[in-house]
Every structure is written in structure tokens, then in C-alpha cells.
Structure 1
Amino acid sequence: MILSELKEFLDEKADLYNHIDFIANDPILIPHRFSSKQDIEIAGFLTATISWGTRKSIINDAEKILLWMGNSPYDFVLNFQESDMDFFNHNSVHRTFNKEDLNYFIRNLSRLYKENDSLENLFLVSEDEANFYHSFDRFRTEFFKENEIHRSKKHVSSTYKNSSAKRLMMFLRWMVRQDRKGVDFGIWKKIDQKNLSIPLDVHTGNISRKLNLIQRKQNDWKTVEELDLVLRKFDDKDPAKYDFALFGLGVDKAF
């Protein structure tokens, strides 16, 4: 397939899968239950943090967290007390993300929201930065600044260690992308969606190789940048829309 044909094919698939019906079976369902900016951010961040494994298990485990928070995440985070952990009646939150991790994440979110009105402030990209390579590290440093060796650090990926940072990138896609499809929120206005990349994982990586969009075998940050080079030629204003195409093709058994 020549480049122009590949662009047309991916544009068609992105338009097909970027549809309101996508929400019902995807983890983005969780933040879509809220209307206020901070509630959406917190629900989205926690859901994205545990987004590995099956979509059904991610949604079920995110629901456990939100139920414990009284389905009022922003109010819960601002008023969080250590004693609140006594009422989380599960030893495991999601796979290797456990109760201790959840405690530490909520404590950090509480601190951050007492200092910022939005998490958006922690992900800003400088004018000389084309992607979130440095932004993600700045966020990670700020998030863990009270305990840089805590076990939870493994749950926020490090681009400086060449991670694709799939979960952080997915969270940013949700918050930043603006269109009229109704899937992504587009509530962050200080960040340009042109800087977004694909949330790269095993599935999107495999499809990208099948389409010859990338050559690297690893699903790491260098591969994210390799994929950027192609997708930004297709649409330099909204490259992350192709996440819908690659994801949709990944679950399409016929493809």
C-alpha cells in the first residue's frame, strides 16, 4: 500500500471507530460518568493508571475505586484522610496495583490538587518540545517528590527509561483531543493536540508493524517517535486520532 492509500485507509478507520458507541466497552467509560473537570481528570488518571489487561477487568476495578470514593473523586481527594483506607475492602486494586499503591496515589493527588486547580498544569509542553518526552518526566518527578523510592513509582512510566508511557499517553489523549465525536473530552486547552502520540502497546505496535508504519521491534519510546514521523505526515494537527484506527484494527478479527 503506498503512503497516500495508507493514509486514506487509516483516516477511514479512525472515523469509523472514533464513535460514541466506542465508550460503552472502553475504560474511558469511567471518566464519562462525570461532568466537572476535576472529577473527569481524577477518574481518568486512576483508570488510565490501571489500564493493562482486559478492558472488562480494568472497568470493573476502576468501579471499585470510584465506589470507595463515593463517586465524588475530587471531593474525596481534597478531603482524604489515612483512615479512609480502612473502608477500601479489597487487598488488590488491579493486578500488581495494590492497596498501598492506591493510598500513595490518592495522597499525592490530594497534595497536587491543593497546589493546582488542574493536573493539566503538570503536563505542559515547552515551545521547543515536540512531544511529551520531557513533560512526562517532569510530571513523574513532581508526583513522587515526597518519596522517590516508593514502590508505586513503577506505576508511572518513565520516558527517560525509554518506556512508551502508554497509560500516560492514553490519559492525555482523553483530556486533550478535541473533536465533535464525543469520545475524547478535550477539556485541557493549554496543551496542543499536535504534540500527542499514539498510546503504544503490544496491540497497536503489532498493527503498526503489519502496516509497515514502523520497523522497530520494541514497543518503547523510540518506537513512539518513529511512529510519530509517519502519522504526523498524515495529520500534523491531530496525529493521535489514528489510535482509534490502530486499536480498532487490532480487535477486528477479520483484519
Structure 2
Amino acid sequence: MNKSELKDFLDEKVIQYNTFDFIESDPVQIPHLFTQKEDIEISGFLSATIAWGNRKMIIKNSHRMMDLMGNAPYDFVMSHNEDDLDRLETFVHRTFNGGDFSSFIKSLKHIYQNNGGLEAVFTKHQEKDSMLKSIHEFKKVFFEIPHLSRTQKHISDPLNNSAAKRINMYLRWMIRQDNNGVDFGIWNSISPSSLSCPLDVHSGNVARKLGLLTRKQNDGKALAELDLQLRKLDKKDPVKYDFALFGLGVFEGF
């Protein structure tokens, strides 16, 4: 199909999958449990962090994270004590364990106490039509306090050629306003035009079949190639096509 036909096809798939029904099978359901901005930010960040592997297990373990924080993530982050952190030690999702969880809680408290919160940190280093430097600088701030060295692997750095799938998914949730009840759009200081597609095996395979991506690895170079093509389709909201690519791959086996 030509470029016009491809855009029409993908736009139809966005409409099909960017609906409220999408939430029930996706980790985005976790921040939808909350109404306070900080609760949405923190619950979304934590659930996005463990969003790899089996989707049902991701959702199950994300709910467990919320339960361990008394289903009040912002209050837990800001007022926890060492005994509270001890009960996180039983948590595990693949290679993310209780020690990592505790390190994340401490870093989140540092960010809200000393850096104005998650939105402020991501906004500070934003560049036009790119979140690469912003994510890179966020990781530096996140780990500038004492932490387990092993925990650093759980936040990707796109300047090290990572596709940073999970953090790009999280940024989509926070920044993109879809008016359909999936993405929140609560960070008004960053434009959706800066977002990158959360590139994973499903979206990558579909993108290759559609001629949007030629690189075989799902790395930072592949993401740059895909971003360029998606911006040609919609420069103001390129990441909306994540719904189309992901939906075609997961729900249709395209």
C-alpha cells in the first residue's frame, strides 16, 4: 500500500484500539485506580517499570505493588519508614526484586522532595521533538542518591542505544491526551510531539511488515527510524500509532 493508504489503515486501527476497552488487558489499568496526580504518576511509573514478560503477570504484580504500599503510593513514598520498606522485600517480578523496589521508593521520595516531582524532572531537559536527553538526565537524578547498583538496570538510557520501551510507554500515559480515557495527558508541560513509540517485539514486527522499519534489532537506532516514519504520518501525535502497531501484533497476530 502507498503512504496515504498506510496512514488511513493505521488511523483506523488507532480508532479501533485506542478505546476504554484497551485498559482491561493493559498495565495502564494500574494508574487508572487513582485520581490524585501524584498517585497516578507514581503507580504508573512503578507498573511501567515491571512491564516486561507475561501481561497477566505484569498486571498481577503491579496490583501487588500497590497493595504493599497500602494502595496509597504517593503517601507511602513520602512518609514510609524502614519497617515499611522491610515488607517490600518479599516482592519479585522477574529480575526486579524487593531491594530494587525499596531503592525506587527512596529515589521517588528524593525526586518529590528535592526536584519538584516526576513531571518537573522530565520537563527540565526536554528538547524539541525528543525525550532522549530528558530520559537520560532523569536516570541521573533518579540514581544520584545511595542505591543498589543492580537497580540501575531497571531504567533504560536511550543515549546508550536502548529503545527504552517501558519508560517511553510511561511517558505516553502521562503526556498524551487521547480523550478516550486510556492515556492521561496530565503533564501539560511536554508536547505529545516529543514522544517516542514504546518499541517492543510486537510493534517492531508489525512495523517491519508494514515497511516502517528495516533494522532487525529493537534498539535505539530502530526506534529513531520508526519515530521518523511515524512523525511523517502525524507530527503532532506520532505515538498514537503505538495502539495500531501493538493491537495488530497482539490482538490480530498481524
- The CA deviation at 1:223 is 1.1
* Alignment correspondent of 1:52: 52
- Tell me the residue number matched to 1:159: 158
Segments of 5+ residues of structure 2 without an aligned counterpart are none
Deviating 4+ runs (over 4 angstroms): 125-128
Aligned equivalents of 1:231 and 1:119: distance in 2? 26
Letter aligned with residue 225 of structure 2 = E
Q: Percent same amino acid at aligned positions?
A: 53
Deviation at 1:88, TM superposition (A): 3.2
Instruction: Mark the CA change 1:132 to 1:111 in structure 2 (over 3 Å): closer, same or farther.
Output: same
1:188-233 CA distance string (max 9 Å, x none): 0000000111000111111100111011111111111111111111
TM-score, L = length of structure 2: 0.96
Cα distance in structure 1, aligned partners of 2:145 and 2:51: 25
Is the alpha carbon distance of 1:146 and 1:118 closer, same or farther for their aligned partners in structure 2, counting shifts above 3 Å? closer
* Distance (whole Å) between structure 1 residues aligned to residue 40 and residue 232 of structure 2: 31
How far off is 1:254 after superposition? 5.4
SS state at 2:123 partner: coil
Pick closer, same or farther for the CA change 1:98–1:2 going to 2, 3 Å.
same
Q: Secondary structure at the match of 2:239?
A: helix
* Aligned counterparts of 1:253 and 1:4: Cα–Cα separation in 2: 22
* Equivalence for 1:80: 80
For 1:205, the equivalent position in structure 2 comes to: 204
CA contact (8 A) 1:197 1:239 kept: yes
TM-score (norm 1): 0.95
Q: Is residue 2:14 matched to residue 1:6?
A: no
Q: CA deviation at 1:126?
A: 5.2
Structure 1 residue 54 displacement after superposition: 1.4
**Shift of the alpha carbon at 1:89?**
6.3
Q: How does 1:191-230 map to 2 (within 5 A)?
A: 191-230=190-229
Give the length in aligned residue pairs: 254
- In structure 2, relative to structure 1, the CA distance for the partners of 1:195 and 1:128 (3 Å cut) is closer
Tell me which residue corresponds to 1:34: 34
Is 1:237 equivalent to 2:236 in the alignment?
A: yes
**Aligned position for 2:20:** 20
Aligned pair in 2 of structure 1 residues 122, 89: CA closer, same or farther (>3 Å)?
Answer: closer
Specify every segment of 5 or more residues in structure 1 that has no aligned partner in the other structure, as ranges: none
Over residues 24-54 of structure 1, what are the superposed CA-to-partner deviations in whole Å (9 max), with x where a residue is unaligned? 1110000000000000000000000000011
- How many angstroms does 1:116 deviate by? 3.8
Residue 127 of structure 1: CA displacement? 6.9
